[in-house]
Amino acid sequence: MPSLCSESILSEDYADFILPYGGIRQPILEQYPQNCVLFPSPEFFLLYEPIEERRLSPKQAYSYFSIPKLYAPIDSTSMERSGIPAVQSNPLLNLDGRGVLIGFMDSGIDWQSPAFLGEDGQTRILRIWDQSLTAKEGDDFSSPASYPYGLEFTKEQIDAALDGSLPPLPTTDESGHGSFAAGIAAGGRFPNSSFTGAAPNAFLAMVKLKPAKSYLRTFFGVPESAIAYQENDLLTAAIYLTELARRENLPLILCVTTGTTSGSHDGTSPLGHILSQIAVQIGCAVVIAAGNEGGEEHHYFGQLDQANPEESVSLRVGEGENGFTLELWANLPERYSIRFTSPSGEVLPEISVSYGEEERLGFRLDPTLIYVSYHEAEVGSGDQLILMRFLNPTPGIWRIQVRNTFFLGGNYHIWLPIKGFVKEDTVFLRPNPDVTLTEPANASSPITVSTYNHYNNSIYIHSGRGYTRDGRIKPDLSAPGVDVFGPNTGQTLRFTRKTGSCIAAAHTAGAAACLMQWGLYHRNSPSMNSTIIKSMLIRGAERSPAYSYPNREFGYGTLNLYQSLTL
């Protein structure tokens, strides 16, 4: 089974599924005796089957819930504004994340960077699991014990590579996204630089996510050039980091810096479910970036009433767009139907699709194909989903006529894919910037962080905004993430500036590590978890008299770690 799994997980000839089960493995193994099956949690198992054309249909793919969604990375004075240097330098607090593990699931980490060395000159990186690598003959490296793919590198191996006892490790961080986030959260102190990370003595662990398979890119219309990761790989990464912290007997801060607009936007996705479970464990906290979709014009909010039960939604498709998905979500028990008008003016009749079926729509005057499937009760949320997959869409203005056929409140949402998965000029003509938190930031228990500009105290224009689709208050708070100063990749210490939601999450993850240290090691709160840390951060957050709180942009205010410990 390990060799079969290693091949199936990495091969483009196998399809991946996330399936729920009741915690009893034997019936599952008997049902799929020839397939790779992994059991990362008591709630879900991962199935890898030989790919077939029919598996690109939601009808044949068990359910839409089971298809791994594709996630993208979501891209000093910032520390001072967050009240972090004050808790590092205060002799009564002296908090620097010591004894806490901060885990990342991202593009990798530059293990050679001086930013991740400890006071003893050795690395503070306890593990790197590079999901994208395969073992070569004669290698000293292997896959993690529980996950038969990728290669795992230990602290001892990293130290040996740093001092020349081993050749350089084959894992890299090509984009620098993961390294920068790790540097903001836990970069070391440098006497000749003004920079220090939020938790400069914390341990680190990184899962470098493997690229998404081509068949999923085809299904969702994501270009091969876009950086995309699979939900099932994020799920195994989160559980791997939790298991690592448990083996090392360390508290864990899990920092999530990727997101997607696919899914229910209410926290019921498989990844959101797992992260919520991790977040409430004692000694664990989960921090999630709110995303950068607020100003991207990728969300439409519709409000119908019984007197006017339908409306036309205008969508502009940019030049060179090869394909994309639209997802319409509506609350149970409401029901909606749709029809399309192409840029040439051709009108298709209202779509009538049976539950679980997918209908293929063509046009006489346009080369566009649209695949439509209705899901009356999506598995995770129980709400209606209409999935629309466009292939070779004609550029111009498309109109989607949305009609309510079972009225209760008349509200519905439509989301385009996340930035980078569609052309910049593929947008709604009447977008709504609210309810633009990327998944899994809608999960209930983790700490969700939006992005603000600490130079002028304004919300970042693209920061994801609340609330969740089911009306819960998210984000929880906001942290600096605009033009933030931090370490760049390379053996020589260099610095750069970056902007994005991941940076705000990294600030908060470092602050959470300091609170975890204060609670567990200083014996102030032996039951520290996301719930307690979130409450402390909310209580200490700065609030401007110009706003009422909570709100959709800042949540309960802006991060101030010092106030969280002194109020």
pTM for this one?
0.93
User: How remote is the C-alpha of 258 from its chain's centroid?
Assistant: 3
Q: pLDDT band for 551, please (50, 70, 90 cuts).
A: very high
- Predicted local confidence at residue 68, as pLDDT: 94
Residue 2 confidence (pLDDT): 54
Identify the band that residue 428 occupies on the pLDDT scale cut at 50, 70 and 90.
Answer: very high
Kindly state the average pLDDT of the residues 482-502: 78
DSSP string for 205-252: EEEEPPBPPHHHHHHHT--TTS--EEHHHHHHHHHHHHHHHHHHT--E
- Report the pLDDT value the prediction gives residue 3, as an integer from 0 to 100: 65
Residue 443 pLDDT > 80, yes or no?
yes
- pLDDT of 80 over the 70 cut: no
Q: Is the pLDDT of residue 431 over 70?
A: yes
* Segment 214-234, tens digit of pLDDT: 999 999 999 999 999 999 999
- Averaged pLDDT, 340-360: 85
pLDDT per position as a tens digit, 247-285: 999 999 999 999 999 999 999 999 999 999 999 999 999
Give the C-alpha separation, 144 to 146, whole Å.
6
pLDDT of residue 55: 59
pLDDT in tens, 128-158: 999 999 887 767 899 998 999 999 999 999 9
49-59 mean pLDDT? 68
Q: Which of 557, 565, 556, 513 is nearest to 286 (CA)?
A: 513
- Could you tell me the pLDDT band of residue 354, with boundaries at 50, 70 and 90? low
Other Cβ atoms less than 10 A from the Cβ of 429: the count is 13
475 pLDDT higher than 60: yes
The amino acid at residue 125 is: I
Could you tell me which residue, 55 or 240, shows the higher pLDDT? 240
The H-assigned helical ranges of 435-559 are 501-516, 530-540
- The pLDDT assigned to 379 comes to 85
Rounded to 10 degrees, what is the CA torsion of 81, 82, 88, 94? 140
**Per-residue pLDDT for 484 more than 90?**
no
Q: What is the mean pLDDT of residues 21-46?
A: 89
